[in-house]
Amino acid sequence: MTSEIKNQYIHSETKLWFALRVSYNRELKLQKHLEELGYETFIPMKIKESECKGVIKKELKPAISNLLFVNILPDEMEAIRRDPKIEYPIRYIRDYATQGPTIIPEKQMQNFMKISKMNNPGCIYLSNDDIKLKKGTRVRVLSGIFKGVEGIFMRIKRDRKVVVSIPGLMAIATTFVPPEQVEIIDDSEDDE
């Protein structure tokens, strides 16, 4: 194990969600390889429209180029990063506060994936610069398609939405969520 991974995770026997940058838009290729090895992966996808000769074509494409999340043991992640059979660079996305790789807590990742996997055109991806999460209130959705999702309740584009953020990377906002479908949760509740 190298010093690449924060010391507290070196001897972890628990799988962790790592955020990876895969060069040259090969995230789908690496995802397939990792899934064949039995690892859980996730790439946020988005329906993108393009027009060709007057015909609108809809395709499911990565929402953020070169981004891949993988749930894996730290030692196994290092072995894959150093595997000579993989002919393109795989880099950790850095957590600048700790100078280690970005590691996403399980609960936060599950909330993020639940919203993203719906491919709902009303859900929007946001950069961390697009939002000020401190202005919102932490909530849990009680009913509807986003039931169980926890995030920050805030107004975006004139609608009330629940935003799940992966600090330093990105956030995703649900479609409109009526206030009666959420409950405020205590800031002291654990995010893990």
Q: State residue 155's pLDDT score.
A: 87
Q: State residue 146's pLDDT score.
A: 95
Structural tokens at position 10: 């070196």
Q: State residue 192's pLDDT score.
A: 45
pLDDT, tens digit, for every residue of 82-131?
999 888 899 999 988 888 899 999 999 999 999 999 988 889 998 876 76
Around Cβ 117, how many Cβ atoms within 10 Å?
11
pTM of the model as a whole: 0.84
Structural tokens at position 56: 């609108």
Q: State residue 97's pLDDT score.
A: 82
Enumerate domains of the chain plus CATH numbers.
7-104 (3.30.70.940), 106-184 (no CATH)
Q: State residue 176's pLDDT score.
A: 93
Q: State residue 98's pLDDT score.
A: 84
- For the chain, helix, strand, coil in percent to 5 are 25, 35, 40
Low-confidence ranges of the chain (pLDDT < 50): 1-3, 6-7, 191-192
Q: State residue 131's pLDDT score.
A: 64
Q: State residue 135's pLDDT score.
A: 67
Bridge partners, residue 59, by sequence: 48
Distance CA(160)–CA(122), nearest Å, equals 12
